Amino acid sequence: MDKATIEELRATFLFENCTEEQLQWLRECGEVVVFEAGKSVIVDGKPANAFWVLLAGKLQVTRKYNGRDFVVEISDRPGSWAGWLPVMGGLLNTSLYAVRTRHQSRLLRLSKENVEEMLQRGLPVLSHLLAGIYGGIYNFESLIRQQYKMAALGKLAAGLAHELNNPAAAIRRSAEQMYEIIDKQEERTLQLGHELDEQSRTAFIKLRRAMSARFDESLPLDPLTRSDREDELCAWLNEHAISESWNLASTFVDVNIQVQDLEKLAAQLSPVALPLALDWLYTTLLRTSIAKTIGTGAARISDLVTAIKDYTYMDQMPTQHADIHEGLENTLRILSYKLKKQNINLDRHYDRSLPKITVYGSQLNQVWTNLLDNAIDAISSLPEDARRIQVATARDHNQILVEIQDNGPGIPPEIQKQIFEPFFTTKEAGQGIGLGLDISYRIVVQQHHGGMRLDSQAGATCFQVRLPITD
């Protein structure tokens, strides 16, 4: 196999400060290996039995986590290295990552013995090696943190999409119905115009106004009373040969139209005009009902958009002088779909006398999201009627105390000390990456100078967040 040239070695940042003698030693001990594009240089999980240095080409470094491969680095810089190092008491004998070529690449291979001798000879590479180890850890951790944020955002987006889709679908269906009703009502209006004289037109308009007023004032009926009234109306309509009597009867009951109202109208209208007038009245009431459905759906969408803006503190300064309960409630609104889907009973115990404090609002909402999301997952295995989460606030001397408690199985005592460590998780593979509580702890302790602790036993797991009260 070809030996590396002195110039090729000196051109790498790893060996640029080596003496001529040191470069000559590398040339004699090292072996240049040429890999075609897409070939594996190092396989993760396999013994790391050599040290590799890129001379020319491009490498891709990937690391497996939770069953997924993450691209940690792509480099075409001569001197980029990977492989075995005599550090950490042999803990790196098995590779933690994989290296694959992106293009045809030339790499210098040094055996384990060569690497140990290289360090013993004092080649000026140690600072680069330490920087590489630190940089690799930092890049991987940053990548996983970003992946966690994207996964958390994906969960929120999925819930919000469902919450937005329901009213949006209702608005769309109602709009389609409205088109049909408007066409039908225009036809009935023209027909009625030919059949009503001045007296009957006045009586009909009077009833129509009365019905519109009743629409907002009508009270819900118990099922038995409603059924009786529908039967009475349906029988009267059938007697007068009114088509679609059951649909008309159901709608008329909604606005408290009774048989005596129809009798008065029938006395004022001709037999030809009566069915036209009742059908016109029915479509008018239906149109009003559909308009209310559209308004309710639009209001729901507007409320969700407002909740999203409040949750993220969009268009606001990084810090806010805020009521802690606003953030808690915005977070609960954002997670409402998940809470409803899991049939979770939510108890609130708020001390509304708590003062406003200066916080990083959007980041603190991330804390509430992480804690509530963990609580939801913790009780998902319980029977639906037994799932309960409690959110409480109180004043504890010069601090605000927020408690989020669930009645799940609890966290075993032997792992509770690890619960805030990065990448530690009690969830199954693929269900979590162990960063939620680490991120929450950093936000509370480092950014807000507060405190965070866990109190857990079977049937009661409580996370306590303390935030300082500032003037």
Domain boundaries, the chain: 6-124, 158-304, 314-468
Segment holding 347, helix H or strand E? strand 345-349
Spatial separation of the C-alpha atoms in residues 372 and 389, rounded to whole Å:
8
pLDDT band, very low/low/confident/very high, at 424 (cuts 50, 70, 90): low
pLDDT (mean) for 251-255: 82
Residue 110's pLDDT is 92
Q: Point out the least confidently predicted range of 118-127, 128-137, 207-216, 262-271.
A: 207-216
Mean pLDDT of the chain: 82
Nearest of 218, 278, 210, 215 to residue 244 by alpha carbon: 278
pLDDT (mean) for 24-29: 90
Per CATH, domain 314-468 is 3.60.9.10: no
Pairing verdict, β 345-349 and 388-396: parallel
Is pLDDT above 70 for 316?
no
Residue 167's pLDDT is 80
Nearest of 110, 116, 102, 64 to residue 83 by alpha carbon: 110
Spatial separation of the C-alpha atoms in residues 289 and 333, rounded to whole Å:
27
pLDDT band, very low/low/confident/very high, at 297 (cuts 50, 70, 90): confident
Top-confidence residue, 281 or 1: 281
Spatial separation of the C-alpha atoms in residues 278 and 323, rounded to whole Å:
54
Structure tokens at 366: 């991330």
CATH class of 6-124: mainly beta
Residue 432's pLDDT is 52
Is pLDDT above 70 for 425?
no
Residue 1's pLDDT is 39
Residue 381's pLDDT is 83
Residue 89's pLDDT is 43
Q: Do domains 6-124 and 314-468 have the same CATH topology?
A: no
- The answer to whether 92 and 108 are in contact (CB under 8 A) is no
pLDDT (mean) for 72-88: 82
Percent of the chain with pLDDT over 70: 84
Structure tokens at 245: 């009597």
* 3-class state of residue 79 by DSSP: coil
Residue 353's pLDDT is 93
Place of tokens 């040191």: 22
Phi, psi (deg, nearest 5) at residue 101 = -80, 140
Distance of CA 13 to the CA centre of its chain: 43
Is pLDDT above 90 for 347?
yes
Residue 435's pLDDT is 66
Spatial separation of the C-alpha atoms in residues 85 and 70, rounded to whole Å:
22
Q: Point out the least confidently predicted range of 15-24, 144-153, 353-362, 387-396.
A: 144-153
pTM of the model: 0.52
pLDDT band, very low/low/confident/very high, at 430 (cuts 50, 70, 90): very low
